[in-house]
A = this chain, B = another copy of it.
Amino acid sequence: MKFYSFWRSLASFRVRIALNLKNAAHEVVLVDIDHNEQRGADYAKVNPQMALPALELDDGTVLFQSIAILDYLDEAFPAPPLLPADIKGRARARALALMVACEGHPLLVPRVRQYLNDVVKLDRNAQAAWRKHWIVETLTTLEAQLGGHRDTGRFCHGDAPTMADICMVGHVSIAVMQDIDLTPYPITTRIFETAMALPAFAQAHPLAQPDAPEAMRRK
């Protein structure tokens, strides 16, 4: 498999964690979004949507959309599972993952930031307020869903990482990068720290990637 990745892409971060957890052999192809390589002719052949990440299977099939890739990896490499064993637990873990993937994250991606900057002409302070507003909103809803729910354990659902943790750590990571105070979200923060202590998560972090800028990279 070839995994098309960019260090800062939070959707790439999700797939990296899953590939690590599954210990699935793959080659990484770095695509530099900061230099618009995802819009180049080479990558357009791989993914006409010109978005990251993408997973190219050995028969040439290209998978896209990070959550769909997580589901594929979970079916292709069943151990360890990325979803709970019971049907209601799976629905909860998926819902927590989708709260990030369908609500928090889409408002923070480069194409939206570009539109706000270039078309809406938001100034820097207003752009920062936009980011903070949506990061905090999703942190608040995550904390409300995780806090006091009997199925919340060491991780978002039970005592093993699932798709919910995979998506949540990306959201908390962006909150950390934006210097947002995590004090109001103690359960979310505890689970984030538990997950990020696992090598599969830590090694997938944006700042641990070989294409992260030298000055920021974690050694």
Contact = CB atoms under 8 A, between A and B. Distances in A.
Interface of A: 48-49, 57, 61, 63-65, 67-69, 71-72, 75-76, 87-88, 90-92, 94-95, 97-99, 101-103, 105-107, 111-112, 115, 119-120, 122, 126, 129-130, 133, 137, 141, 144-145
B102 A105 contact: yes
Contact of A72 (B91, B112, B120, B126): B91
Contact of A106 (B75, B87, B103): B103
Contacts of A99: 49, 65
A90 B70 CA distance: 12
Contacts of A87: 72, 75-76
Nearest to A148: B48
A142 to B, nearest CB: 9
Most chain B CB within a 10 A radius of its CB, from A57, A68, A107: A68
Contact of A49 (B67, B111, B129, B141): B141
- Total copies of this chain within the assembly: 2
A102 B91 contact: no
A99 B101 CA distance: 11
Given A120-B120, A144-B48, A102 B106 contact: yes
11 contacts: A48-B141, A48-B145, A49-B99, A63-B88, A63-B92, A64-B95, A65-B94, A65-B98, A68-B92, A68-B97, A111-B137
Nearest to A141: B49
A116 to B, nearest CB: 8
A7 to B, nearest CB: 21
